[in-house]
Amino acid sequence: MAPGSAASSHLDHAAFRNKDLKRLETALRGLDRYELVLIDCPPTLSALTRMAWAASHKVLSVAEPSLFSVAGTKRTMTALAQFESSRIWAVPEAGVVINRVRDDSDEQRHRMRELQELFGPLVVDPVLPDLSVMQQIQGAAWPVHRWPGAPAQDLAERFGTILAGLTR
């Protein structure tokens, strides 16, 4: 793991230069011995996020089934498409992971249909349910695959399925 730091905050601005986009790609050079490298970005369309796109072969956007998240995901995917068409920074694959799903919510079912209509085959299966065990796991800073209990095992299997799709 190569953690980020506050030192990168000077790169977190709206505008970016092409030379900025090469920085992360250059920093990651030599990591091809790994099957998968994950780059976790803040939910913005800043220069840092675009640096991550430029260095990536696949991009996953995480969306919750809510009005503002659907709108934000649409902006993200539109920006990603514009970014790709602007030149050499094409990302071969993109997807949308739907997170924090509650089956008992009519509003969320509506937003899930909306995400499916907007992004079709880009929507990743399975979705991730909104379970209190996830907050417990995050609060304990534990890997989901090591947390005890059936709800955590179900989450771990879902994350495993998504991960398997990334390495194909």
Contacts for 114 with CB less than 8 Å, ≥ 6 apart? 70
**Residues facing 98 on adjacent strands:** 63
pTM: 0.84
**pLDDT at site 5:** 67
Following DSSP, what letter does each residue of 71-111 receive, concatenated?
Answer: HHHHHHHHHHHHHHHTSS---SEEEEEE-SB-TT-HHHHHH
Instruction: Give the C-alpha separation, 91 to 160, whole Å.
Output: 23
**pLDDT at site 14:** 64
Whether cis (ω within 30° of 0) applies to the bond prior to 126 is yes
Averaged pLDDT of the chain: 86
- Three-class DSSP category at 123: strand
| CATH H-level superfamily of 17-130 | P-loop containing nucleotide triphosphate hydrolases (3.40.50.300)
pLDDT in tens, 60-101: 999 999 999 999 999 999 988 888 776 666 777 899 999 999
pLDDT of 1 higher than 60? no
**pLDDT at site 54:** 82
Binned at pLDDT 50, 70 and 90, residue 10 comes out as: low
**137 burial class (0-12, 13-18, 19+ CB within 10 angstroms)?**
buried
Q: Where in the chain is the domain with CATH 3.40.50.300?
A: 17-130
Binned at pLDDT 50, 70 and 90, residue 9 comes out as: low
Do residues 61 and 94 lie in contact, with contact meaning Cβ atoms separated by under 8 Å?
A: yes
Binned at pLDDT 50, 70 and 90, residue 147 comes out as: very high
Determine what percent of the chain is predicted with pLDDT higher than 70. Answer: 85
* 1-5, 38-42, 47-51, 78-82, range with the lowest pLDDT: 1-5
pLDDT of 114 higher than 90? yes
φ, ψ dihedrals at 33, nearest 5°: -75, -15
